[in-house]
Amino acid sequence: MKRLRLPPAALALFGVAALLRVAYLLQNRSNPFFAHPIIDGWEYLARARAILADGILWDQVPIHAPLYPTLLAGLFAVVGENFTVLYAIQHGLGLATLFLVSRIARDGFGPGAGLLAL
């Protein structure tokens, strides 16, 4: 199995991306909508709460895809309604996506493209 090595410049950019996400998360905690999502976020949260309360995944045809509220209910079952943990996981997934896109670009188009994709 190949080791997943990042060149120093890519590692630095990835580190900056991670620090920006942490700074955003810490700063955004004072936002009044941080733990009270609106519009689609509210619907996902309401569906997750219904899954936790009733154990019913689908009692009606969902407006949105059902996977996210189901995963949200699972997360809330483990850690409670902790929005900081939820958003931290989402930021981690964003960093993983950034890494994967960079790897795909590097493997497909060369090291410069991989660095540019970051």
Cβ neighbours around 73 below 10 Å, total: 21
pLDDT at 87: 93
Cβ 102 vs Cβ 10: under 8 Å: yes
- Residue 56 φ/ψ region, left for φ over 0, alpha for ψ in the -120 to 50 degree band, beta for the rest: beta
For residue 19 the two structure tokens come to 């620090």
On the question of pLDDT at 58 being above 70, the answer is no
pLDDT at residue 11 tops 90: no
Q: How many CA atoms lie within 13 A of 22 on its CB side?
A: 6
Q: How confident is the model at residue 1 (pLDDT cuts 50, 70, 90)?
A: low
User: Can you list the positions of beta strands (E) in the chain?
Assistant: none
Question: Between 100 and 59, whose confidence is greater?
Answer: 100
